[in-house]
Amino acid sequence: MKIIIRDYISGDYPQIELLWKITGLGGAIRGDNQKIIENSLKIGGKFLVIEDIRNSKVIGTSWMTFDGRRLHLHHFGIDPKHQRHGYGKALTEASLSFAKEKGIQIKLEVHKENLPAIELYKSMGFQYLGDYDVYIIRNI
């Protein structure tokens, strides 16, 4: 498979909505929609997708919102059919590159049962914050 990691474009949303349904990452029930995504980009956020360039299919997402103080990494995931091929690591690196470019912290929340994701985040420098299932990099 040939993939690229690129910025979100409006035309991606139908595929993203389907991917989030498959992965359980988000959707209308959680208040996620195209308008919210695009508004978050206007105020300093970033939305990256991994695309299989052979068929123009979105297979992964990384949505970073900005609160004026730090980035929050949301809806980070890879289509289960394409997991365990290094795409998550590549998408994490691209996400961290954006945080480094902005010069600010990045944090995320992860389900405590999602051990593969936790190991990925730890390997990329995120630190456990105690009693919360939240990981953060303060000095990128």
pLDDT digits (tens, 9 = 90+) for 8-45: 999 999 999 999 999 888 776 677 899 999 999 999 99
Q: Which residues contact 114 (CB under 8 A, 6 or more apart)?
A: none
User: What are 68's two structure tokens?
Assistant: 């004026």
**Tokens, residue 42:** 């206007």
CA nearest neighbour of 110 among 139, 140, 84, 88: 88
The answer to whether 47 and 8 have CB atoms below 8 angstroms apart is yes
CATH top-level class of 3-137: alpha beta
pTM for the full predicted model: 0.86
